Chain A
Amino acid sequence: MFTLVMTISLIIVAISTLLFVYRLVKGPSTPDRVIALDAIGINLIAITAIISIVLNTSAFVEVILLLGILAFIGTVAFSKYLEKGEIIENDRNQ
């Protein structure tokens, strides 16, 4: 029963990832695609958590933290690029 619930949750998260991929392919503007990529990163964390319950191990917990940090940094870099045209500004006199 428990394994069945875990499998159903994994299938549901996979379906929602596929819907985000649809928005990533179709999205008319660039911020749509960035939103979809951020949400795919969040869903990847969910998949890792459910997989580590299914495999009954605590070896993948660092992967959860790392994916959260990487998704946040990627979104911040993309939004700064969209807004200012560059990510790291070298000119300090402004």
Chain B
Amino acid sequence: MIEISKFIVGFLILQGSLLSLIAAIGVVRLPDPYTRNHAASKSATLGIISILLGLFMYYLLIDHHANSRVLLGIIFVFITAPVAGHLISRAAYNTGVPLWEKSIQDDLAKARKHEKSR
């Protein structure tokens, strides 16, 4: 039983750290702030949720107590990390950071020009 518990915890934590590594590679290699934000806010959020779920499973299965603060941390990260990504991406667009030069469509700029001309 304890070996199966250790296998579950190890799998969850290894998966979370690999997702975090994928997020970091995406942030280094992608071309503009919006795509980097896409990589960072999605993969890093799923990675941290997986690692915290592994920690919760460790306390539950091996230490035999359910730690509610870890669950609170999971819920908090799940709610706030995409909001932070949205806010920083909107701030980047409003301060005039350019898109990647190979991107072909900018609907928000079109809509704003339409709004201004009306």
A interface with B by C-beta (< 8 Å):
1-2, 5-6, 8-10, 12-13, 15-17, 19-20, 22-23, 29-32, 34-36, 38-39, 42-43, 45-46, 49-50, 52-53, 56, 58, 61-62, 64-65, 68-69, 71-72, 75-76, 78-80, 82-83
The residue from B10, B20, B58, B70 contacting A43, defined by CB atoms under 8 A apart:
B20
Which secondary structure dominates where chain A touches chain B? helix
Chain B residues with CB below 8 A from A79, complex form: 84, 87-88, 90-91
Work out how many contacts link A and B, with CB atoms closer than 8 A: 167
The total of chain B residues at the interface (CB under 8 A) is: 53
- Please pick, from B18, B21, B24, B87, the residue contacting A75 in the complex, using a CB distance under 8 A: B87
The 8 closest A-B pairs by CB, nearest first: A16-B24, A31-B92, A19-B24, A79-B91, A9-B17, A75-B84, A5-B10, A79-B87
